Structure 1
């Protein structure tokens, strides 16, 4: 088997009352049975990235983690039909470190389940020269989809998660090989 792919899971919401940890824990649980991934977590609530996009030791450390990654998954809420400002700051805090790497999305929110945020993010990550995998995971009315234990019986989300991880693994392997053979010209 190839060396496991370094997958960085980015938890986007920074609100004090955020639901993100429930969704993130569920997703990390799904990843636990996937040996093709070596998983790390970048919780934006814990990362002091400056909104002015200035250079700091924290930004340097963040970029180093991104550069070492083979793939990304974002856990994002939807606020006012968009994604959190903390995620935009994170995306804008790096440039080349994102390029030629796949990204998948796990979203949650009200009736749309965060899908409007994901569609906006697909435009942004394309500009960063990333590959957005087609499958995404979405939890409409998320608080109703999870049990007190953090488990979910949402079959559509469970199936979508499996398909998304398969796509992230394929793109992650393919792009890692391509970057090694012929560095991305971006």
Structure 2
């Protein structure tokens, strides 16, 4: 199983980075091939799907090889960061039939409003949101890089098990979509 974990904020001092790195490590421990996609590496000022830049092509290829996706983001003003929106909007068809887990980070609400917004957006991209973990007060939940709260460890494991189940079930649809995209790209 290949999972891409998107870290959805470029803000300095971001608490969500600790969570994203933990998820990459946890996915690896479960035998998954995990890769972190950091929005800092794709700081685009606009979206223009008809003019594909080299960094957009790199992102597109990462998504095309994924069996599942996890988006980690903090809540910004009741929604998600603009740089995450721009990154997600650089492609569209490539997301179809991709199960997505949403992991929110917020000290006050845990990211409930962010969760609602990302669920809606992911359905619009034709992804399937299948689970979520809401992180409150990250500094209190971690001891260094390790998650010290057993309930959160269980939630993360459940998220990965659920992603795996849906990734397997949706694989035929993803393969069909990706074949259609290959044909379109190659001009067949």
Q: TM-score, normalised by structure 1?
A: 0.87
Paired position in structure 1 for 2:22: 26
Paired position in structure 1 for 2:122: 125
Q: Pick the structure with more helix per residue.
A: 2
Instruction: Tell me the distance in 2 between the aligned counterparts of 1:25 and 1:8.
Output: 12
CA-to-partner distance for each residue in 1:15-66, whole Å, 9 max, x for gaps? 122122211122122112212x211111111223332435311111211111
Instruction: Tell me the distance in 1 between the aligned counterparts of 2:174 and 2:7.
Output: 26
Are the equivalent residues in 2 in contact too, given 1:7–1:72 (CA < 8 A)?
yes
Structure 1: gaps spanning 5 or more residues: none
Paired position in structure 2 for 1:44: 39
Q: TM-score, normalised by structure 2?
A: 0.86
| Partner-residue secondary structure (3-state), 1:45 | helix
Which runs of 4 or more aligned residues in structure 1 lie more than 4 Å from their structure 2 counterparts after TM superposition? 182-185
> Aligned to 1:79, which of 76, 79, 97?
76
Tell me the matched-pair count.
Answer: 178
Instruction: Tell me the distance in 1 between the aligned counterparts of 2:148 and 2:87.
Output: 32
Are the equivalent residues in 1 in contact too, given 2:122–2:128 (CA < 8 A)?
yes
> Aligned to 2:53, which of 53, 56, 67?
56
RMSD: 2.0
